[in-house]
Structures are given as C-alpha cells and as structure tokens.
Structure 1
Amino acid sequence: MFERFTADARAVVVNAQDEARSLHHDHIGTEHILLTLLADPRGPVARSTGLDADSVRAEVLRRIGGHSPDGPVLSDADAEDAAALKAIGIDLAAVREAIEANFGEGALRLPRPVKKRGLFGRLVPSNGHIPFTNRNKKVLELSLREAIRLKQKFIAPEHIMLGLLREGNGLAALIMADHGIDFDRVRGDMERSLSAPAA
C-alpha cells in the first residue's frame, strides 16, 4: 500500500510520528495525522477546515495531556485530580519542583521502555518506534479505499483526510466535530482538490 503514497502523503505519516514524539505520546493517533495535515496553513486541509495546527495541538494537549515546550501539560482529568489534591494541601507543581531540585531536572520522566530480544532474553533498548493505533491503521487503509473509489492510482494527503473523515471516530474527528467542521463539505473539497490539474 505504501508504494502508492505520494512524497507528501509519506511525509504526513513520518511527521505524525514526530508530532507524537514531541508531545511525548506513546502512540500515533488520528490526532497526530490531523496535526501533520494542518502543518501547511495554505494546504488543502487547513484551507478547507479553517483549523490551524497550533490550536489543534493545544486541544490535543487539553484532552489527553502530553508535554509542551514549557513542560508537562495535564489533561482535564489530570487537572481535576491536581485540583482535588490541592484542596487537601498538596500542590503538584511544588512537589515536582522539590523532586527536580533534589534529584535533577527530568527526574520524573519515565525511562524509555525496553524490549526482550535475543536467544537469551537480553534486554535491548527500544529504537524509539512509536506504534500507530488500530484506529489510525484503519484511517490509512481507508485512504487506500478512497483512492480506489476515486479511481486514482496514488494516495495523497487529501486521501488521508478522506480516510480520517470516513473513519469518523478518532480524536481528530471529535476535535473537528467540536469545531463545527462540516464533514461533507470538507469531503467535497478534498475530492475537488484531488481532481484539480496540477499547477
């Protein structure tokens, strides 16, 4: 399937891993694909949806947490837990500062996972590969189906967006729905973009 991907579509897949890594997520979800599709503010996805990568990234951090350039970002559920702890006199920010003051910056970061490999079960550090979620694998499969439906022998970023819309249940779809995005209109925009002659 990946041999059908254009250079731009391959970049979407590769850059989704970079997005997940920069947010310190242990998966590549539909939200990471959406972020890379929005990376070019003049691209067809950003023009059609009116969304920008920075606001979507902030929304992802708000919903599922991660890290920002300023450090850890709590999801809404984590923020509620922090507020509950603060109500009984425990300030997580103060605890974090105290731990880092005593043990060094980054002391709270978890080490990279290790995997068992080899004949004798030696532990070998992970190569940093971040797996795609099953839902995201489905999106990529649906992008191929969209290309076949449109009788096209290639998969472009617009096909990936069509796959996101068709799957319709991931965090990316939820964020778009919450922003009032008209999926049918975006679908039409993507199809028109794919049928337009190259400039």
Structure 2
Amino acid sequence: MFEKFNDTARIALLAAKDIADHVHQDHIGTEHLLLAVTGGYGPATRQWKNAPGISPKTEAVIAALGIAPETIAAQAVAELTYGTSYDTGRLPFSENLKQVLEYALRSSMILGDNHVGPEHLLAGLARNSSGAAGAALSRLGITDLMIQAAIQDSTPAPSPTAARSCDVYVPVGKSIFKNGAKIYPDLAAAQTAHPDQEIAPFTIQLADGEFFDVCTMYPKPSSWGKFASYPDAFAAAAELGNVPGASIQVRIMTPHATEHRGKDSRGHDIILGRSVEYTTERLMTRVLGTQERTAAKKEGARV
C-alpha cells in the first residue's frame, strides 16, 4: 500500500507519530493524523519538532470546502487526550487509522490518481465515521464525498500542449510523397480521399510545449493559427486550402527555453529571465523521418 504514498503523505504520517508521542499515547490515532494533515496549526502544536505545515494541494482542497485549515485543526486538537506512555519507539496504528489508510487508497483510485497524498488521507479520515477525526469533520459538516469533489475542483486542468501522442493516417504508396504528403486526422477521412489505396496509421509523439502551426507559404509566408490537436489544425488547413494559389503546411513547433543569467550587487549568479524560441519541423518528418524513408526505399517497400 505505502508504495503509492507520496512524500508529503509519508511526512504527514511521521508528523502524526510525533503528535502521538507528544501526548504520550501508545498508538497513532486518526486525530493525530488529522492534525498532521492540516499542518499542526495552533499554539499547542508549535513545540512539535516535525510539524510539516500544510501541503499546497491539501490547502487548496480545504479552501474549496469553504473552510479554514485552522478550523479543522482546532477540532482535531479538541479530540486529543493525554496518555501515560513514554515509549517514543515505533507506535502502532489504531484500527480506525488502518481503515483510514485503506479508504485513502480507494479515494485515490476512484479519482484516477496514481498516488496517495495528504488530500486523500483527509478523505479517508472523513470516511471513517467511527474515529475521532471522522467525528471532528462531521461536526463541521465535512464528508468524504465533499472532499473528493474538492480534490477534483482544485486539480488544475492539464496544459493543452502537455506531452501527448496523436494518431494520424497516410495513404501507402508513392503518392505519399508526390501529392503533398497528405496526412489525415482519422481513418475515414483518409479512406474517403484515397478509396483505392491502403491506409497506414502512424503515431506522432509530441513533447511538452509542442503544438501544430498552420502556415501559408504562398502568396506570402504567414502563420494562420496554432493548435493543440492535429484534427483542429487539419480542419484549419483544409479551410485555407480553398484560397487559390495558396501553399499550406501544418508544422510542428518545438520550444527551446533559454535562461538569461547575470550577477546581483553581491556578485552572485542570478537568473534575469527566460525566453522561448521555436523551431519548426515539417509534419511529414515527424510521421516518417528521412532515415526511415531511405531505408524503406532500399528495401523496396511501398511507403
């Protein structure tokens, strides 16, 4: 189970142990983890040596719930009780906390996440209604379903030009080179345009930040638009293709970031700024590079 826990979740579990040590308990309970997950807020927690502070993701989730972390932490503090154990060795998890960890893993799976973070631990704590933390969250009207929804709401959408792959389709045969190297966004479009030819699929791998650029080379060079998906770029190129005498290309734009460095008044190296320049690459080159085409021709393959 714990191999899916990220570093901040593991730190929260270690902080929960410190809290349990501080109140002389012989086990780690849900109330200790709730206080650790919310960052150990409040005057009583300042003396705990490993109070980690709240993770940015958990803070965003709690903000999406419309409540302050300090409010949840105060409820957790109210659930703390002092024991008589002074053994600071390995403390076992309570049965409720074991359930919480299982619920957290389930929440992560339900949400399609590939890790368990403090935000999933918070959902697990709310799901375990028999534990002290579950009671504290219930008093605030917080449920595990609300936390799961908040996790989704606080998760930023991926960049449209994040690393990705897309499938394109090309007609097999010499026409792939002679007729403008036609590349299609789907099988149906390729079959409609080339009903008597075999159609071959290719997968294009795009790195982070790369996008498709539609440009006209004639009557004058100009970029008509930038697109995250090939189907959108293809549609734009088809629209421009109705312009008499226009030569249309769909290119892949690859970013190259450069850091500009200098020195501050003390002579220390600092980054003054960053700039991004783009290099262009013909789409056909990415689909079937020069080396692959040369090798295919030598072998007599029909590409």
- What TM-score, normalized by structure 1, do the two folds share? 0.59
Cα deviation, 1:125-151, whole Å, max 9, x if unaligned, reads: xx6211110110111111111222222
Cα deviation, 1:22-77, whole Å, max 9, x if unaligned, reads: 22222211111111111028623543452445x6565555445228xxxxxxxxxx
Consecutive unaligned residues in structure 2, runs of 5 or more: 40-53, 160-303
C-alpha separation between the residues in 2 aligned to 1:194 and 1:48? 11
Aligned to 1:30: 30
- What TM-score, normalized by structure 2, do the two folds share? 0.40
Q: CA deviation at 1:185?
A: 3.0
Q: Secondary structure of the equivalent of 2:154?
A: helix
Q: How much is the aligned-residue C-alpha RMSD, in angstroms?
A: 2.9
Contact 2:64–2:154 under 8 Å retained in 1: no
Code of the aligned partner of 1:27: H
Aligned to 1:90: none
Code of the aligned partner of 2:128: E
Aligned to 1:76: none
Displacement over 6 Å in runs of 4+? none
1:151 equivalenced with 2:167 (yes/no): no
Aligned residues: 142
Aligned to 1:180: 141
Q: CA deviation at 1:181?
A: 3.3
- Higher share in strand: 2
% identity of equivalent residues: 31
- Once structures 1 and 2 are overlaid, which stretch shifts more, 137-146 or 32-41? 32-41
Aligned to 1:21: 21
- Higher share in helix: 1
Q: Secondary structure of the equivalent of 2:26?
A: coil
Consecutive unaligned residues in structure 1, runs of 5 or more: 68-109, 114-126
| C-alpha spacing 1:185/1:23, structure 2 compared with 1 (3 Å) | same
Code of the aligned partner of 2:20: A
Q: Secondary structure of the equivalent of 1:66?
A: coil
Q: Secondary structure of the equivalent of 2:91?
A: coil
C-alpha separation between the residues in 1 aligned to 2:9 and 2:142? 22
